[in-house]
Amino acid sequence: MVSEQTAAQVLVASNRGPVSYTLSKDGSLDARRGGGGLVSGLSAIGSEADALWVCAALGDGDREAVRRGVGEPGVLMLDIDPAVHSDAYNGIANSVLWFVHHMLYQTPLEPVFDAEFRRQWASYETYNQAFADALAAHAAEGAAVLVQDYHLALVPGMLRERRPDLRIGHFSHTPWAPVDYFRMLPDDIAEQLLRGLLGADRTCFLTRRWADAFTACCAEVLGADSLAGTRIGVHGLGADADFLRERAHRPDVAERMAALREQVGPGRKTIVRVDRTELSKNIVRGLLAFRQLLMARPEWRERVVHVAFAYPSRQDLAVYRDYTAEVQRLADEINSAYGTATWTPVVLHVKDDFARSLAAYRLADVALVNPIRDGMNLVAKEIPVVSDEGCVLVLSREAGAYEELGEDAVVVNPYDVMATADALHEALTMPDDERSRHTKRLAAAATALPPQQWFLEQLQALRQG
Ligand code: G6P
């Protein structure tokens, strides 16, 4: 039975919610609203009456907030056993599913699906059950439920069993693995994941390419008929132009622009990248390509600076910590090999600062977005929107954004360091009129489907059936 009080008409479920809490030394709780495309897109739910966002309590602050009954209206945080959450999030979601969809395994040694994997998988099921239970308990008759991402791949199927009356959607914000790669997963797990997602009325992706990979996996693993009950949607999340333009012109951004200009030095060009320090972002090969540029074309020495922001991510995982250390080591190595008294070739910042990211966006002459694979990559879409003087986008053909932006970018194979170095040179030497023409077209394509519209489009399609 659904109680009157808690019956929501629209529900969103995601691992990370729109707000997080930190516990200060004096015992008070500070709330912080999250950023990013998912949060701003799903914030459109705020305009829907009777909406509920179900998420997990992620740290001690969040758990304390749940215990104290502190929270925001319309947000339900689930206090899942920390050990279960860690197995599900670090173990399965981030170390298995993320690696499969981004093709990150070093395959002679990985993956190994052993007893430890099976133990973690049981936690992943428990964690998905907790979401399915909460959604089933809080959804009104016939409500629309939008489940997000690989953390919650089993939820649509589990929820369908409990509440066949609901309209259920699932959205993958990652790429989807090609079938041969996906089939590295144990057969029963591969089946369970696909059946979980096919429990939804609509299963959605950021690009046609990821949607096609998913349907190919279903056909191969479950058979051609398996897709009969589910519609496949493609909704290419765009940048939030209004928000970005306003935010990028506030005084704190101007301050950081002045500081960055000083670090770069007068008259020099900038190659900017802004990422989470994430294996799929390919930051190390980006640095290698920059080094290759300085090596092969000495005319760029003293004349260009690589401004690289690599913000901490998933530091509970050793492989992320090692990657972060490698980024730092290589930046130092390039600086000691090529730097002079007046020129630091790589300016690396590792402390998250959104205002500084926007400052770099505005100043960038070249934006380097070279992921190995990426569901979309919103940085590629955000930079052209706020760029002051136009910016050339060097873009990996393996980023989802390539489908929409490829025609106006200098496109690279992300593994090819020599070609990436050449692309950087081409970008740095592009004539002003050409660069500004491309930037305008990139900004238009990047903002075609702003986050709120992206969300409402899915909701409407889900309700229409
Ligand atoms: C990126 C991906 C999303 C994912 C999120 C999780 O934004 O595009 O697909 O949900 O990372 O990040 P987290 O920091 O919560 O592990």
- CA neighbours within 13 Å on the CB side: how many for 110? 10
Q: How far away, in angstroms, is 423 Cα from ligand 1 center?
A: 28
Question: Which atom of ligand 1 is nearest to 374's Cα?
Answer: 8
Q: Residue 40 has what pLDDT? A: 72
Compute CA distances 47 → 355, 360, 434, whole Å.
27, 32, 41
Q: How far away, in angstroms, is 36 Cα from ligand 1 center?
A: 9
| Dist. CA 30–CA 11, nearest whole Å | 25
Identify the three-state secondary structure at position 173: coil
Ordered by start, the domain boundaries in the chain are: 8-237+453-464, 241-446
Mean pLDDT computed over 248-255: 98
Q: Residue 34 has what pLDDT? A: 78
Structure letter (DSSP) for residue 365 = S
Mean pLDDT computed over 36-46: 68
Weakest mean pLDDT among 44-48, 146-150, 209-213, 331-335: 44-48
Mean pLDDT computed over 256-263: 98
The tokens describing 371, both together, are 């992921």
CATH of 241-446, one of 3.40.190.10, 3.40.50.11610, 3.40.50.2000, 3.20.20.70: 3.40.50.2000
Mean pLDDT computed over 262-278: 97
Mean pLDDT computed over 365-371: 98
Ligand 1 near 275 CB (within 6 A): no
Tell me, yes or no, if the two domains 8-237+453-464 and 241-446 fold the same way.
Answer: yes
Residue of 94, 149, 150 with the most ligand 1 atoms within 8 Å of its CB, for mutation = 149
Ligand 1 near 174 CB (within 6 A): yes
Q: Give 108-160 pLDDT, tens digit per residue.
A: 999 999 999 999 999 999 999 999 999 999 999 999 999 999 999 999 999 99
Is 4 a residue whose pLDDT tops 50?
no
| Dist. CA 278–CA 210, nearest whole Å | 20
Question: Which atom of ligand 1 is nearest to 148's Cα?
Answer: 10
| Dist. CA 355–CA 305, nearest whole Å | 20
Q: Residue 1 has what pLDDT? A: 38
Angle formed at CA 47 by CA 462 and CA 127, multiple of 5 degrees: 60
Nearest residue CA, atom 9 of ligand 1? 173
| Dist. CA 462–CA 455, nearest whole Å | 11
Mean pLDDT computed over 272-295: 97
Ligand 1 near 16 CB (within 6 A): yes
Structure letter (DSSP) for residue 113 = -
**Mean pLDDT rounded to a whole number for the chain:** 95
Is 75 a residue whose pLDDT tops 80?
yes
| Dist. CA 360–CA 307, nearest whole Å | 8
Q: How far away, in angstroms, is 15 Cα from ligand 1 center?
A: 9
- The CA-to-CA distance between both ends of the chain, in Å, stands at 24
Residue of 89, 92, 173, 237 with the most ligand 1 atoms within 8 Å of its CB, for mutation = 173
Compute CA distances 34 → 18, 20, 42, 66, 410, whole Å.
5, 7, 11, 18, 32
Radius of gyration of the chain measured on its C-alpha atoms: 23
Question: According to CATH, what is the number of the domain 8-237+453-464?
Answer: 3.40.50.2000
H-helix segments, 310-392? 318-338, 354-363, 378-386
